[in-house]
Chain A
Amino acid sequence: MDKLFFTEEHTMLVEMVRDFANTEVAPIARELDETGRFPEEIVSKMGKLGLMGIPVPEEYGGAGMDTVAYAAAVMEMAKVDASVAITMAAHTSLGTMPIVIAGTEEQKRKYVPQLASGEILGAFGLTEPEAGSDAGATKTRAVLDGDEYVVNGGKIFITNSGKAGILLFTTQIVENGKSIGIGALIVDTDNPGLKIGPKEKKMGWRASDTRQLFFEDMRVPKENLLGQPSDGFKTFMKTLTGGRISVAALSVGTAEGAYQKALNYSTERKAFGKEIYKFQAIGFKLADMATQIEAAKLLTFHAAWMKDQGMDITKEAAIAKLYASEAAMKITTEAIQVLGGYGYVKEYDVERFFRDAKVLEIGEGTSEIQRMIITRQLMKTLRKTA
């Protein structure tokens, strides 16, 4: 697989992230999980290395690498710590790339270099208390008043939002008393109309910063509109397919992290006088895990590669996200089983991977929504061939 999708630069990137994750993150991963502390020092180091702007073009201060590189880095980090991986992934694919793809030249110059260098963190708010899977049902309203939008409403479950310098969010755009569609705005997080809620207490991704946001007569300059609402919500949502690749990559990494621990354990633990991998029941579990990881990885890199070729990846990104996240849930469950009672206690870390895996089937479109997207795409191609 390395040979199929990786250049020499990809390999060097992967080795660097592996080294960084094992040296800097692994020793504190359990502490971060238990306390829920957001690791500012890690994020700052990642920024200096260029890991907070992997796919951002060089002219805007990024590394100018491709989606394959980005996915590989997220995967590698998730093998060690999914919270750190999602911090980097949400910042990049949700908090930064929409500006790179849909922003005006001025918006790009103003925000992207700071984001790509990790000087500030980015967050993206789509989900609302009453608009999750049905993201189009957004209740947040931005009413044009002179040169500013006055925004009221709020968002929920927003990754990085308590630590972010800027927030991108979707909202109904109301001009001359009429809603002209759903658009996105960029807002600096020190805006007085933005109220940031306390950190959510979560099952997994414990060191990732997830919060509810409230917009109360929040005034946002007109020039902070990202893309044109008249282009339609769908066009904007397309910029988010990168996010599905992120979650697919996170899933592969999470699965692989747990699998590696189970594999090692199976060669050390003895029962009935032999290493437990020698029992077919355990050996076959490991074989199934390895098979699913291989498949998920190929789907993920294939979707990333297609994106880099400029192809439409609506179906492929959904397939990769769906398969990889469900595989991660299965694999982390089985990894605990391989460790038995030791898998259930925190000391062996496998239960952390299990808790981190569940959200992968929920965020960036639930499994149900991915299946809907895939079905819709199947019908499209069916019509074409008929």
Chain B
Amino acid sequence: MKICVLVKQIPGSEATFNVTPDGRWIQESGLPFEMNESDIYALEEALQIREKMGEGEVFVVTLGPDRCQKTIREALAKGADRAIHIKEEAPFCTDPLTIASVFTQVIREENPELVLSGLQSDDLGFGQTGVLIGEMLGMTTATLVVATEIQDEDIRVKRELEAGWFQWQTMKLPASLAIQSGLNTPRYPSLRGIMTARKKEIKDVSFNDLRNVDFLQSFKKLSIQHAEKHTEMIEGSVDEIVSKLVNVFKNEIRIN
């Protein structure tokens, strides 16, 4: 089975962010970058499916600037067979539809039976890529996937619903699945994997060459929220204090 995994590089969650002077993006110098969390699980799921089936190919596709090489190598070291790097330079596209359409062109040529993506990226968090790609490629699509089972022409997936409920669903292949974090135990890259990663193919393609739609959405201004403490003294008679407090609970803190 040919499996495509979408892997994104994002700023590390422990990083301290600053906005660039033009206010359009974050300052990247000095930031640690890492593989998006749910993508790590998507990659692991793909590798496990390949291992269970005893054959097949796992290739990863990444969109982003040169720094993403590191994340690609990491995926290759863990066991992906090859990679496609859609190269993009700042200012980065943040429009989900454009991103999905560019991915779709690359993936269509490869014709995989399964496309796995992380549920959402931990930086922008749109959670649309896997779904849009599935639709554009005419694949069956599922989100919030927490288990997979290949059955001949079909794939059975377990989906996370609300309030602790789950749903098993059988879908036709080819399929695009958005993977939820935590469904497996991601492996560490082995030393052998690290040493062979360099020998694996990374194909570069250009984002601008593939871009065929106008951005429907872009960032106008980024700002960083600063948490502020704010103390309000409530004064008056007991009755007044109580009614003011109830008002705060109902309308400001919104306790129902």
Q: Complex: how many Å from CA A136 to CA B111? A: 68
Contact indicator per residue, chain A 1-44, by CB within 8 Å of chain B (1) or not (0):
00000001101110110011000000000000000000000000
Q: How far is the CB of B43 from chain A (nearest CB, A)?
A: 15
A132 CB–B CB distance under 8 Å: no
Q: How far is the CB of B112 from chain A (nearest CB, A)?
A: 26
B52 CB–A CB distance under 8 Å: no
Q: How far is the CB of B15 from chain A (nearest CB, A)?
A: 15
A49 CB–B CB distance under 8 Å: yes
User: B190 touches which one: A8, A15, A19, A50 (CB < 8 A)?
Assistant: A50
B84 CB–A CB distance under 8 Å: no
Q: Complex: how many Å from CA A19 to CA B77? A: 15
Known: A63-B195, A64-B195, A65-B195. A12 touches B73 (CB 8 A): yes
List the B side residues contacting A75 at CB < 8 Å: none
- Are A9 and B188 interface neighbours, CB within 8 A? no
Q: Complex: how many Å from CA A54 to CA B195? A: 11
Chain A interface residue count: which class? 10 to 19
B198 CB–A CB distance under 8 Å: yes
B254 CB–A CB distance under 8 Å: no
Q: Complex: how many Å from CA A16 to CA B187? A: 10
- Are A63 and B188 interface neighbours, CB within 8 A? no
Q: Complex: how many Å from CA A12 to CA B73? A: 9
List the B side residues contacting A293 at CB < 8 Å: none
Q: Which of B191-222 contact A (CB under 8 A)?
A: 191-192, 194-195, 197-198
- Are A49 and B188 interface neighbours, CB within 8 A? yes
Across the two chains, which residue of chain B brings its CB closest to A10?
Answer: B194
B95 CB–A CB distance under 8 Å: no
Q: Which of B157-204 contact A (CB under 8 A)?
A: 188-192, 194-195, 197-198
B74 CB–A CB distance under 8 Å: yes
- Are B191 and A51 interface neighbours, CB within 8 A? yes
- Are B191 and A65 interface neighbours, CB within 8 A? yes
A201 CB–B CB distance under 8 Å: no
- Are B188 and A12 interface neighbours, CB within 8 A? no
- Are A16 and B188 interface neighbours, CB within 8 A? yes
List the A side residues contacting B189 at CB < 8 Å: 12, 16
List the B side residues contacting A51 at CB < 8 Å: 191
Q: How far is the CB of A310 from chain B (nearest CB, A)?
A: 21
- Are B191 and A8 interface neighbours, CB within 8 A? no
User: B192 touches which one: A8, A20, A50 (CB < 8 A)?
Assistant: A50
A48 CB–B CB distance under 8 Å: yes
- Are A49 and B191 interface neighbours, CB within 8 A? yes
Q: Complex: how many Å from CA A48 to CA B70? A: 23
- Are A20 and B195 interface neighbours, CB within 8 A? no
Contact indicator per residue, chain B 135-164, by CB within 8 Å of chain A (1) or not (0):
000000000000000000000000000000
List the A side residues contacting B192 at CB < 8 Å: 50, 63
List the A side residues contacting B197 at CB < 8 Å: 9, 12
Q: Complex: how many Å from CA A20 to CA B195? A: 18
- Are A8 and B188 interface neighbours, CB within 8 A? no
- Are A63 and B191 interface neighbours, CB within 8 A? yes
Q: How far is the CB of A165 from chain B (nearest CB, A)?
A: 21
Q: Complex: how many Å from CA A11 to CA B198? A: 13
- Are A54 and B191 interface neighbours, CB within 8 A? yes
Known: A12-B74, A12-B77. A20 touches B188 (CB 8 A): yes
Among the interface residues B74, B189, B197, which one has the most CB atoms of the partner chain A within 10 A?
Answer: B189
List the B side residues contacting A13 at CB < 8 Å: 191, 194
Q: Complex: how many Å from CA A19 to CA B70? A: 16
Q: Complex: how many Å from CA A65 to CA B197? A: 14
Contact indicator per residue, chain A 53-87, by CB within 8 Å of chain B (1) or not (0):
01000100001110000000000000000000000
Q: Complex: how many Å from CA A48 to CA B193? A: 12
- Are A9 and B195 interface neighbours, CB within 8 A? yes
Q: How far is the CB of A131 from chain B (nearest CB, A)?
A: 36
Q: Which of A77-136 contact B (CB under 8 A)?
A: none
Additional A-B contact list (4), CB under 8 Å, known A9-B197, A12-B194, A13-B191: A9-B195, A12-B73, A12-B77, A49-B188
Footprint of A on B, CB under 8 Å? Answer: 70, 73-74, 77, 188-192, 194-195, 197-198
Q: Which 10 A-B pairs have the closest CB atoms?
A: A50-B191, A63-B191, A12-B194, A49-B190, A50-B190, A16-B188, A16-B189, A9-B194, A20-B188, A50-B192
Footprint of B on A, CB under 8 Å? Answer: 8-9, 11-13, 15-16, 19-20, 48-51, 54, 58, 63-65
Q: List 10 A-B contacts (CB under 8 A).
A: A9-B198, A15-B74, A19-B188, A50-B191, A50-B192, A51-B191, A63-B192, A63-B194, A63-B195, A65-B195
